[in-house]
Structure 1
Amino acid sequence: MADASFELIKAMMDALKASSAVTAFVGNRVYDRVPEKQNGTPNVPFPYISLGPDTMIPETFDCFEAEEITIQWDIWSSGNGEAYGTAQCRKICDAVKRALHNVELSLPSHGLVSLSLELRRILDDPNPAINHGVMQFTGQVDLLD
């Protein structure tokens, strides 16, 4: 059986890269793992989106199995103008919400019942020049054999 969280992450990433509202800000810079320099700092220009942690809670019913999968996307911005404050980060978060919240995504091996935004936060980054948005989406997935 294929991993449902992997399939959901891939479908979400594809949806983000297909959204003109998202790509207007980040282009194709939506990463599972952000390319890094040798010192461990990101080796990509701002703004960009990266995959954060995910959790899975198994659910077993009489006639089927399901998973509640929560996936975090991190939004990063830095620079001048709107990127200096939180405006650009907030606008990217809004574009991500429109690309993923309550949308129907197709999974190759499983059934996505729902996908909804559970949380959006704008955090103070240890580097004051960087704006960091956190978005957590929860998907209800029926496991199919």
Structure 2
Amino acid sequence: MNISEELQRYLYAKLRTVPEVLTLAGGRVYDRVPDNATFPYVSFGPSDIVDDGAECIEAETHTIQLDVWSRAVGKGECKNITDGVKKALIRDTPALSDNAIVEMTVPYCQVVTDPDGLTSHGIIQVEIKVEIA
């Protein structure tokens, strides 16, 4: 399994244990959002990989965006889910099967109103530095 897939599997499993995702979003976490999905839910957004190695260490930084989607009136529900996800991730120390996570941070979170005027959109940026075996 490649590192990106392993990180996504970790994040998917972790998200399904976050109390706010379980209670407010009904545990709904998607890689590909189904048609007519029930709100609120969390989905995987874009991701990228940057070479972060040095002379003696092969390493990468994976940036993964998680998106929270809510149609509740106001932004409160979206903010609660976004904050719950952030807190759960910064308190966790995941282990990979072949490679080693050096550091995991959540440097950026934002909640905005989507152009439809109805949907609150939480954006969570997760950065994971991995030492490659």
TM-score of the superposed pair, with normalisation by structure 2: 0.93
**Farther-moved stretch of structure 1 (16-25 vs 112-121):** 16-25
Instruction: Check if 1:97 corresponds to 2:96.
Output: no
Question: Among the aligned pairs, what percent are the same residue?
Answer: 35
Structure 1 unmatched runs, 5+: 37-42
> For residue 65 of structure 2, what is the aligned residue in structure 1?
72
Separation (CA, whole Å) in 1 of partners of 2:78 and 2:49:
27
Separation (CA, whole Å) in 1 of partners of 2:60 and 2:25:
30
> For residue 31 of structure 1, what is the aligned residue in structure 2?
30
The one-letter code sitting in structure 2 at the alignment partner of 1:52 is G
Aligned length: 133
> For residue 99 of structure 2, what is the aligned residue in structure 1?
110
Aligned-residue offset at 1:3: 1.8
Structure 2 unmatched runs, 5+: none
> For residue 61 of structure 1, what is the aligned residue in structure 2?
54
Contact 2:47/2:65 (CA < 8 Å) preserved in 1? yes
Aligned-residue offset at 1:22: 2.3
The one-letter code sitting in structure 2 at the alignment partner of 1:57 is V
- Deviations, residues 19-60 of structure 1 (Å, cap 9, x unaligned): 223211112210111112xxxxxx211100000000100122
User: Among 38, 42, 54, which residue is 1:45 paired with?
Assistant: 38
> For residue 88 of structure 1, what is the aligned residue in structure 2?
77
TM-score of the superposed pair, with normalisation by structure 1: 0.86
SS at match of 2:16: helix
> For residue 121 of structure 1, what is the aligned residue in structure 2?
110
Contact 1:102/1:115 (CA < 8 Å) preserved in 2? no
* Rg larger for: 1
Question: What is the alpha-carbon root mean square deviation over aligned residues?
Answer: 1.2
